[in-house]
Amino acid sequence: MKTELVRIGNSRGVRIPKPLIEQCRFGDTVELRIENDCLVISPERPRRDWEGVFRAAGPSERDERLLELAEPSAFDHREWKW
């Protein structure tokens, strides 16, 4: 199927016909990625198994507090105010 790119502000968009949206089971949001110089539009897939991912990262006792270790920058001295 051929379709035209439509102007959306400074961007361009593609109108996806309703039958294709239904066939692909698109919701309100989709995922975009580039594969072999092609734009791939796929249904959004929520991340799963957050607990397993956190467990795989290991214990947090040794995590460093990186912001506390960083030296203040010129921005910190000049611009930042509480």
Q: 5-43: what fold?
A: Pemi-like Protein 1; Chain: D (2.10.260)
For 34-47, letters b (16+ CB in 10 Å) and e give: eeeeeeeeeeeeee
pLDDT in tens, the chain (82 residues): 889 999 999 999 999 999 999 999 999 999 999 999 999 999 988 778 888 888 888 877 767 666 677 777 888 777 776 6
Q: Quick check: helix, strand or coil at residue 81?
A: coil
The CA-CA-CA angle for residues 38, 43, 48, to 5°, reads: 120
Closest Cα to residue 44, out of 33, 34, 32, 30?
A: 30
Both tokens of 22, joined, read 């239904």
